[in-house]
Amino acid sequence: MKGRRTIWGGRRQVREVLYMATLVAVRHNPQLAGFYAGLVAAGKPKKLALIAAMRKLLTILNALLRDGTPWRAPQSA
């Protein structure tokens, strides 16, 4: 296969909401913003970096649901 890959897995509506949430998160969440910026700085395409941040956000959300804890911003050292 040549060309770019597309995402078909999962429920479309959930993907759309998660995509929009990730767009906001890479602007306002320092943890995801740093992750996204690092991927872009490493030469990855912006869309690919956004999808990687989307997956990271999904794992964070799943962990919050699993543990039953509210979101708390990471403490600065």
Question: What's the pTM?
Answer: 0.80
Measured CA to CA in angstroms, residue 47 lies from 6, 33, 66, 67, 69 at distances of 11, 14, 28, 30, 30
Residue 5 lies in a domain: no
Maximum pairwise Cα distance, the chain: 46
27 within some domain: yes
Tell me the C-alpha to C-alpha distance, in Å, between residue 37 and each of 10, 22, 49, 63. 26, 13, 8, 23
User: For residue 4, is it within any domain?
Assistant: no
Domain-embedded: residue 2: no
The count of structural domains within the chain is 1
Residue 77 lies in a domain: no
- In this prediction, residue 7 carries a pLDDT of 65
In order along its 77 residues, the chain shows pLDDT tens digits of 677 777 677 788 888 999 999 999 999 999 999 999 999 999 999 999 999 999 999 999 999 999 999 988 776 65
Q: What is the DSSP letter of 69?
A: -
Q: Which domain holds residue 50?
A: 12-67
